Structure 1
Amino acid sequence: MKALILLATLKKSGLSNTATLAEFFTERLSRHGVSVETIHLVNENILPGTYSDMGPGDAWPSILARLEAAQIIIFATPIWWGNHSSEIQKVIERLDNLHDEILQGKPSRLEGKVAGVIITGDSDGSQHIIGNISNFCNALGMLLPPYCSLAVQSKEQAKDKHPTKEMLMEIYNKDYSKTADTMVSQLLKYSGS
């Protein structure tokens, strides 16, 4: 069983709330024998566009191949102004070509994949993001099962705060372990494991 996390933090390096929450979740998935790969999207040369291959130097074809090989796909994003990050939007735009194929009568290359959403922020907006991503997954034939979102809103994640990784992990372990474990259980159940 393979899971792919599309990590959409805007930080190229250094401590990221979203990367830390994804790491927290990865550890829980790994306990069940799931092989987890995280793609740090902002560090990839994903060219703008709405096709599966935008030409020389485009990292997207390789990422798409890894999405097709995974059984579980996790969209991990911070909240910016009530919405997902620009990196997740870029993924949605690049996957639009798969939707075009469906409209032409071809089978979806991601049909049957099980999806989940991880969100961090210091204000609300999770429901809107989960709704958008769920709708998008549905249009590509993917399944977002019940209880497959892990959203953490905490004043410690505000833009002007500087928590340590240990502080974030303590918050996640204390307040979000049950939610994360339920999400793992659902992802595995609906992926046939």
Structure 2
Amino acid sequence: MTAATSAATSAAAADAYRFDDLRALFVNCTLKPSPEVSNTQGLIDKSRAIMADRGVATDVIRAVDHDLAPGVYPDMTEHGAASDLWPVLYSRVMDADILVLCGPIWLGDNSSVMKRVVERLYSCSSLLNEQGQYAYYGRAGGCLITGNEDGVKHCAMNVLYSLQHLGYTVPPQADAGWVGPAGPGPSYLDPGSGGPENDFTNRNTTFMTWNLMHMAALLKRSGGFPAHGNRRSEWDAGCRYDAPNPEHR
């Protein structure tokens, strides 16, 4: 095989991995309102660039910029809140085939904003899709974590568990992060931090991004997550999939 043929073959293989039919939403759970610099955004930008290069339409929400009322209902203005922008953000969540929750570490744990976003995702977890499954089925989820203290794995475990419990499909190696040296020190985007050049972080971010695209494409192009044995609507109607005769009559 000539060098030209090899290059053409490689290019054709790369072009086979296009995801022009996918949309991704990154939710930045930094505590810093716009236009303050967010180190988490720096890591988001790396993942987002990979997706955009492969045709994915991407969107970013900085959650702290929006008035998200606390609560366990889809619209908290119906339950006493003066205002609640979650219904608007929820529509953007549902437009996305890929959801990436991103945020900083504080005291070894996820930010309060991250917890609020997860709670509001949970507030809509009883809603159903057209197949009678929980609404988040058929979507891929992952997370990005940043900080200058230990806790990436702990934070990622919490986020990824939450996403799969709500109905998202979590592919292999669906998290990445950067913390630098343990203890107080430079943040990801600080001059001389080494964050943007860190091979370990760049590798994990790249793998996470590709795995999310692969998983979302598998789900979307096959018509979603199989709707058998997991339909809330049929369970409520009396079907019991664990019974000898599971169909409801």
- Structure number with greater Rg is 2
Alignment correspondent of 1:134: 160
* Structure-to-structure mapping, 1:116-131, within 5 angstroms: 116-131=142-157
Alignment length, in residue pairs? 188
**Deviation larger for 24-33 or 78-87:** 24-33
Residue 29 of structure 1, aligned match among 51, 56, 60:
51
Alignment correspondent of 2:177: 151
Alignment correspondent of 2:204: 179
Q: Which amino acid aligns with 2:63?
A: L
Point out where structure 1 has 5 or more consecutive residues left out of the alignment: none
Alignment correspondent of 2:114: 88
Q: Which amino acid aligns with 1:172?
A: P
The alpha-carbon distance between structure 1 residues 152 and 174, as it changes in their structure 2 partners (threshold 3 A), is closer
Contact kept? 2:149, 2:183, Cα under 8 Å: no
Point out where structure 2 has 5 or more consecutive residues left out of the alignment: 1-21, 219-249
- SS of 1:45's equivalent? coil
Shift of 1:96: 2.3
Q: Distance in 1 between matches of 2:74 and 2:202?
A: 36
* Structure-to-structure mapping, 1:66-77, within 5 angstroms: 66-77=92-103
Shift of 1:141: 1.3
Q: Which amino acid aligns with 2:210?
A: S
Q: Distance in 2 between matches of 1:131 and 1:43?
A: 26
RCO higher in structure (CA 8 A, sep ≥6)? 1
- Report the TM-score, using the length of structure 1 for normalisation: 0.87
**Residue 115 of structure 1 pairs with residue 144 of structure 2:** no
- SS of 1:39's equivalent? strand
Residue 71 of structure 2, aligned match among 42, 45, 49:
49
- SS of 1:150's equivalent? strand
**Deviation larger for 92-101 or 23-32:** 92-101
Q: Deviations over 1:8-27 (max 9, x none)?
A: 00011322211111112211
- SS of 1:191's equivalent? helix
RMSD: 2.3
Q: Distance in 2 between matches of 1:16 and 1:132?
A: 22
Shift of 1:98: 2.8
**Residue 20 of structure 1 pairs with residue 42 of structure 2:** yes
The alpha-carbon distance between structure 1 residues 179 and 48, as it changes in their structure 2 partners (threshold 3 A), is same
Q: Which has the higher helix share?
A: 1
Contact kept? 1:113, 1:191, Cα under 8 Å: yes
